[in-house]
Structures are given as C-alpha cells and as structure tokens.
Amino acid sequence: MFEIDERRLDRWERRAEWPLTGLAAVFLAAYAWQVLDDRSTPGLHGALEVALWLVWLVFAVDYAVRLTLAVDKRRFFTAHLFDLFAVLLPAVRQLRVLRLLTVLKVLNRRFAGRVRQRVGVYVAAVTVMVGACASLAVLDAERHHPDATITTFGDAAWWTLTTITTVGYGDRYPVTWEGRLVAALLMVGGIALLGVITGTIASWLVERLSGVEGSVAEAERATLAELRLVKAELAALRAELEHRPGV
Amino acid sequence: MFEIDERRLDRWERRAEWPLTGLAAVFLAAYAWQVLDDRSTPGLHGALEVALWLVWLVFAVDYAVRLTLAVDKRRFFTAHLFDLFAVLLPAVRQLRVLRLLTVLKVLNRRFAGRVRQRVGVYVAAVTVMVGACASLAVLDAERHHPDATITTFGDAAWWTLTTITTVGYGDRYPVTWEGRLVAALLMVGGIALLGVITGTIASWLVERLSGVEGSVAEAERATLAELRLVKAELAALRAELEHRPGV
Amino acid sequence: MFEIDERRLDRWERRAEWPLTGLAAVFLAAYAWQVLDDRSTPGLHGALEVALWLVWLVFAVDYAVRLTLAVDKRRFFTAHLFDLFAVLLPAVRQLRVLRLLTVLKVLNRRFAGRVRQRVGVYVAAVTVMVGACASLAVLDAERHHPDATITTFGDAAWWTLTTITTVGYGDRYPVTWEGRLVAALLMVGGIALLGVITGTIASWLVERLSGVEGSVAEAERATLAELRLVKAELAALRAELEHRPGV
Amino acid sequence: MFEIDERRLDRWERRAEWPLTGLAAVFLAAYAWQVLDDRSTPGLHGALEVALWLVWLVFAVDYAVRLTLAVDKRRFFTAHLFDLFAVLLPAVRQLRVLRLLTVLKVLNRRFAGRVRQRVGVYVAAVTVMVGACASLAVLDAERHHPDATITTFGDAAWWTLTTITTVGYGDRYPVTWEGRLVAALLMVGGIALLGVITGTIASWLVERLSGVEGSVAEAERATLAELRLVKAELAALRAELEHRPGV
C-alpha cells in the first residue's frame, strides 16, 4: 500500500516535469512581455495578466495534487516548504515577483541535466538567468514610482550588473520596497554566484600560470588510492605467510 | 580555599545566565520600542529610559560581583576586558548604542546551544540579529540630524543591507559620528559574517554541481583512518612472525 | 595528406606570430593616440583611422588564411570562435573597442613567455594592461556624450581603479551603452584579476607572519612521496620472502 | 676583504636601526601635526617643514652610506630599489606623501618583533597604522582644493574606512591626483590587509561553530607523522627477518 502510493507521487512528478517546464517558459515570456511592453493596450495587458494567473493556478494545483498523493504528508510538507511559499506568497499582488523564483527553479532543473558537467558554463548561465529575472522584476517594481532612477530595461540591466559585482556606483538604485526586496534577493544569491565565477577564473589563472597540474583534492584522492594498494599488498603478504607449509 | 572561591564564581555565572538572558531580551525590546516609536509621550519615553538604565545597572552589578568572587582578579580582569568596556562606555550618553553589543553577546550565547549544529542556519540568524541591531542603532543616531538621509527604519534596514554586502550605493549613509561608529562595527563584523554565508553558498554550489561528494577535510580524515588500519595490520604481522614456533 | 596540411597551418601560425605582435602594438599605439589626442587635425585623425582599419584587415586575412589551411575546418571553427567574433564584431563601428580584446590577447601571448615564472609579477602586469585598455576604451565611448562624467584620461583611469576594486564611489560612471559594455567586461575580468593579486598578497602576508613554511599542497605531495617509499619497501619485503630458500 | 666590508654594512644597519625608528616616529608626529593643525602660525609651520626635510635628509644619507659600505653594489641597488624611490620621489614637493611609506616600513620593522606571534593582532595593528597614514595623506592632499569633499580628519578617516572595506558610498572621495594616488595605494594594500582580517574572522567563526578542532593542514601533518611510523615499523620488520638465524 505504502509503496504503491509513493510510486504514484513519483509517476506524477515525472509526467508533470515537461509540461511544467513549458509553462515556466511561457510564464517568463509573458512576464517579460508585460514588463517590457509597458504601453500595450489594456486588452493585451489583461490577456497577459490572465495567462500569468493561469500558470500560477496550474502550479498551485500541482502542489495540491502532490500533497494529496504523498503518503507521509508531514515529511512532504516540511521538505517542500519553499514550494508552498512560492504558491501562497504571489497571491498577494505586491509579491508577484516571487513567482519568478519558482520559474527559475523549474527552468534550472531542466537546464541542469544538460551542462552540469561543466561547472563554469553552468554557473555562468544560471547567473545570466538570475540577472535577467532580477532586471525584469526591479523594472516592474520601480518603473512608475515618481523618484525612480530605473525606468528602462537598459537601466535595470546596468543596475543588476553594478549590484551583483558589489561595485554599486549609486547612479541607479531601487526606491520602492518591492524593488529593495528584489535587490536583497539578488545581493545574497547573485554575489555568491558571481563569487563562484570570479573564484573559478582566479584559481584557473593561478593554476595555469603556476603550472600546477592538479589541485589538493586530486592529490588527496591519489594518496588514498595509493594507500589502499599498500593495504592490499600487506594483506596478501600476511596471507602468504600463514598458508606456507615451510613456515 | 582557591578551589572553593572559583567554584563560587562558576555557580554565580550559572545561576545568573537565565535572568541575564531575559534582561537582554527586555533591553532589546525597550530599545527597539524607544527608537521606533519616536512620537511617544514624554512619560512613556522616560519609563523606557529608566528601564534601559536599570538593565545597565544589573549588568554593572553582575560584573562587580563576578570580579569580587574571582580569586585570580588580574586574570579575570584581562580575560573580561570586553565586559568592562561594555559596562563603562554606555555610561556616556553618546555611546549607549554600545550596550547593544552586550545584549547581542548574551542572546547569542543562549541561542548558540540550539542551532549550533547547522553552521549555515546559525550564521544566517546571527547576521539577521546583527543587522537588526545595527539598523536600530544607526536610526537612533541619525534620525534627528538635519542632513540625515536615514530617517525611517526602512531606510536604516536598506542602508544596513547595502553596507553589509559592500555594495554601498551611497543613496543612504550616516553623517553623525555615532552613526559612523555603528557603520565601522557593522563593516568589520558584518562583512565577515556575510563572507561566511556567501562562501558557504558558493562552496555548496560548486560541490553539488561538480558531483564531489566529500571535501578535502573528509578525504584527509579517510586517509588517516585507512593509515591506522595499515599500521595495525603491520603490528599484527610482526607479532605473528615473532611468536611462531616454526620460524 | 592530412599531416602535411596541419603542418602548413602550424608553419603559418609560427611565421605570423611576430608580425601580428608588432601590428597589435601598432594598433594599441594608434588607438591610444586617436583617443588621447582628441583635438588633432581631421587629416591626422583620418590617417590613424585608416591605420586601425588596415590592422583590422590584416587580422581578418590571418583568420581567413588559417581557416583555409586547417584540414579539420569544423574543429578549427569551434576552437577559434573567439577569434571569429574579434574579427566580425569590430566591423560594426560601435563595437570597435572589442578590437582591443584581440590586441590584448596577442600582446599577452608574447609577454607570457618572459615572466610567466613569477605569477605575481605577471598578473600585476596583465592587470595594468587590461586597466589601461579599459580606460582608453571607456574614454573613447563616453567623451562626447552630453551627460558624461568621464571626459579626460585621468577620469577614465580613476574610474577603472574604483571599478576594478569594486569600491565604486559613483563620482564617475559610464552613461553610454558602449561604456557600460566596457564596464561589464572590466568587472568580470578585472575583479578576477585583482582577486588573484589581493589573494596572493593576503596569503603571502599570512604565511610570512605565521611562520608557516609550506602550504597544504606541499605537505600533501610529501605524504604521497613517503607513501610510495612504503609501497616499494613492502614489495621488496615480499620479494625477499618469496625467494628465500630457508622459508 | 670581502667579508670585512659586508660586516661593516651589517654593523651600520644594526646601529642605525634604533635612531631611524625614532626619526620615523618623529616624522610621523611632525607630519600629523602639520596636517591636523592647519591654522598654525607660519613660523611653526616652517619649523615643522624644516624638521620633515631634516628627517628626509637623514634617510637619504643612510641610503648613501649603505650603498658605499656594500661590496656588491649592483646587488644592493636592485635589492633596495624601494628604498631608492622612497628617497628620490619625496624630493618632488607633490609626492611627499610617499615619505610616509618609508616611515611605515621602519615603524613596522620595529613593531613586528613584538606581536608577530599573534597574526590577527599584528595585521589589525598594521591596518590601523596604514589607515591613519592614508587619512593624514589624503587630508593633506585634498584640504585646500575648491571641490574637495574631504576637509576634516573625521571626513578623511570615514573615507578611509569606506574605501578599505570597498563599500564606497561616494559621499566622500578624492578629487586631486595626489589624493587619488593615496587612494590607489590604499585600495591595493588596504583591501588585501582587510581581506586577511575578515578572512581570519570568517574561518575562526566557521571552525568554532562547526566544532572542528584542527584544520586540514594539521590533519595533513598528522597523516605524515603516522606514515613515518609505518615506514619505521616496516624497516624494523625487514631487519628482523634478515637477521633471524631460524629463517
């Protein structure tokens, strides 16, 4: 009984994976369109809004179905707390930028399978994706504020770049609390991501320049392998001594 | 004689721990109330001020009692220099923000027992606590200065975020010397704390993405364990050779 | 047939190396002259422009020749994608600052042979070269914009310094999209480079002050060498036991 | 002949050490007085100027004497290039802030002997000393410029703090090229120093919180020691086998 049910949850998640990825891409496109094409007719704007809410609804239904299918509901609940917040919080109009987090998560899962083998490429791609979403979100939040300094996508992208690198000239900065929320998420997440990139470039530079072929971790693994050979050798020696008739 | 006295100091510290933690929480709450509710009646403001001074007095008495109970007074004095400054400096009206350091220290000790097992969660919680205290302190220092750019708690929290991440847009910055003292403490302490967080996120990302299961430290420990097995094997081999009648 | 052709590519690259290095130096000098001496007569300005375009043409011809000489054209194409962009993109007038990337690459290859042995000196020299090129490029892009804050080489150099160290005061910052493109390249590349420098200085300081003679990597290598001696010892022991007549 | 001469250089350096340290302290005090007490009478100002030049002269004479005493003059010249610059450059009025570098170097050598055992304390002390000198130098350079934003020692210290931590609000920044030269030196040197401090705090935090007693380096040393015991054990075993009469 137990086994069958968890298998049903697994099957649902496997089947829903592709449609949800597609919907995440649709959501991102519709959101980008709505934010970038600010002067669209009310009809088009309304249609995009409906599309965004429909995608949200599908994600909400997906969460409900998974919770229903799970046998150990308490464990599912605590393990997928982030999913719950991602469904509940965007229901508040002001926090709809948080829906982008779910979209990023779904797209990331799809994308990870392909390029995970090359960490550098993968992290760079994720950073570009995070940066693009942060630019859209901050533009959406700031655009219509009277004191805003971020009013075009170019401004937003430039602001994202100066923030993620911690340069922070201060020629552009968010003034609304929604924009500052986006900034807070970008700072904590983006600085870590860019830290990985510059750290990778830096250690690659040092290794290549100093002619060091392997890292400490590799040397450590070589030591361990060597040690296991020594142990096997010793065991063989002992076995030989024990079974020799002449001794 | 020696033993008995140091035991008395220990017993005092163990007994005073819980009341002092409670008082630290009271101090933080009263300080936050006084700073955030700026338009309170003079009566309420005065009552909060009295409460703050009473807590200070209890901490001062605690220091005096501990110094009296200690047998090796010179050693206690040098080992608890920070406690002395935390008692003496806030007596100057301008430096009362420094009392927050003592409060943070006491609350931190209580809090550490619970979540120390998970470094990431613990550091994040401490960072939030430090950030909240710095925001309160800088707001308290800046608010009434004519050139101040930090006049609400939202501004103060935003300033703390841009400072702790070293982004520093420059749309908000302290202009009083008290505010700059808070900034100096936040910069040195907060940057280290956030460095731990982004460093943890970055190394977690790299490890997870590159499929490395263990760290260098773990591999090192495995090597050491393996090596001890080899040594034991060798010792057994030697013992066997020595006690064999046939050899 | 195969072998002969790849040999022809190699021979071309070896022969073209010195002339291309010379041309890269000429390009850099002409570009610097054109940017710094803004009030030159139209005749001189035109002559420099022609010189820049001629150098570009030689680089384009070099790429075409190499592609023709290569046998496995697909592999050459994917392995030298950067070279293709460096040839195609500067054909657009707005992107001519990108030509500096090729120049940097060629000069770097020449320069690397000499001082590669001392990582610190090498990285410092590359950083200065990158900084000088970024200053020239941003000055070229910004100078004639009405809102520009970077209008002299001194301003540009100062902006480069505050950007590369992520200090970012915000007294100088690019406002054109070309200038921001230069800033983006400088941030990603320059921060990694300066990270290597400050990291090297920092670890040198720590090592020198704490009196630690060797690093973890050296200790690891010593362990591995020791372990190989142990293995050889064991093998000798086993061989001895096997060939002894008395056993 | 050779030996005697190099011994004379050594003897001179040992004898000159204390007087030069004293002179460096005098220079720092006179420089600080001159910069901080801007409204002093012309007579006092002139007296301080003479004192500064006299100290400079003593350092120049010291360099000349050491060059004369050295036998291998070429090697002395290249090994002490920094000393030469520190003597020649401040002769230009505009570059006298560079004399502070010599002072820092001499004071540092004295100071190092005492607290080198505790890296953290030492680096913190050096950072404070560098910060104080940079504040004095930038104040000296900026103070009388019409567009200056750094006009008091408080401003200068605050600017130093925001620069060294790379926060860079941009409320204060140097506008003269001398001030920017000080900023460049502070950025490269100071960021590395503060990197050591925050890095030390961060790794101390992580180690203390995660309950890890030793570092990787210590584990590595333990492994090596263990391995040497294993090797000794093996050698003993082999020796025993060879010299046994019964085998």
Task: Give the pLDDT confidence of D65-121 residue by residue, as tens digits.
Answer: 988 888 888 888 887 877 787 778 776 655 666 677 777 777 766 666 555 456 667
Task: Give the pLDDT confidence of A84-95 residue by residue, as tens digits.
Answer: 877 787 766 556
Q: Is B128 on the interface with A (CB under 8 A)?
A: no
Q: Say whether pLDDT at A145 is over 60.
A: yes
Task: Give the pLDDT confidence of D139-184 residue by residue, as tens digits.
Answer: 988 888 898 999 999 999 999 999 998 888 989 999 988 899 889 9
| Distance (Å, whole) CA D218 – CA A43 | 68
Q: What is the mean pLDDT of residues A160-176?
A: 90
Residues 6+ apart with CB under 8 A from A130: A104, A186, A189, A190, A193
* Distance of residue C246 Cα from the nearest chain B Cα, in angstroms: 10
For chain D, the average pLDDT equals 78
For A42-107, the DSSP string reads: HHHHHHHHHHHHHHHHHHHHHHHHHHHH-SSHHHHHHHTHHHHHHHHGGGSGGGGGGHHHHHHHHH
For chain C, the average pLDDT equals 78
Widest CA span of chain B, in angstroms?
A: 100
Q: Answer with the residue of higher pLDDT: C30 or A115.
A: C30
Q: What is the mean pLDDT of residues D48-52?
A: 86
Q: CA nearest C171 in B: which residue?
A: B170
Subunits adjacent to chain D (3 or more Cβ pairs under 8 Å): A, B, C
pLDDT score, position A5: 60
Q: Which region among A22-36, C146-160, D4-18 has the lowest average model confidence (pLDDT)?
A: D4-18
The closest alpha carbon to C226, from A211, A158, B223, belongs to B223
pLDDT score, position A208: 59
Q: CA nearest A217 in B: which residue?
A: B216
pLDDT score, position D2: 46
pLDDT score, position A10: 84
Task: Give the pLDDT confidence of A207-239 residue by residue, as tens digits.
Answer: 655 544 345 555 666 677 777 777 777 777 777
Q: Say whether pLDDT at B2 is over 50.
A: no
C205 pLDDT band, cuts 50/70/90, is: low
Q: Say whether pLDDT at B59 is over 80.
A: yes
CB contact under 8 A, A169 and D166: no
pLDDT score, position A214: 45
Amino acid at D95: L
Residue numbers of B between 147 and 176 with CB closer than 8 Å to A: 154, 158, 161-162, 165-171
D247 pLDDT band, cuts 50/70/90, is: very low
Task: Give the pLDDT confidence of B75-121 residue by residue, as tens digits.
Answer: 888 878 777 877 787 766 556 666 777 777 777 666 665 554 566 67
User: Backbone phi, then psi, for B72, in 5-degree steps?
Assistant: -85, 80
pLDDT > 90 in chain D, percent: 9
pLDDT score, position A210: 55
Give the highest mean pLDDT range of B169-178, C204-213, D18-27: B169-178
Q: Answer with the residue of higher pLDDT: A70 or D226.
A: A70
B132 CA to centre of own chain = 13
pLDDT score, position B156: 93
CB contact under 8 A, D199 and C202: yes
Q: Answer with the residue of higher pLDDT: D239 or C136.
A: C136
Q: Which member of A168, A192, A193 has the closest CB to residue B167?
A: A168
CB B65 within 8 A of CB B31: no
pLDDT score, position D159: 94
CB D161 within 8 A of CB D181: no
The closest alpha carbon to D156, from D48, D38, D34, D36, belongs to D36
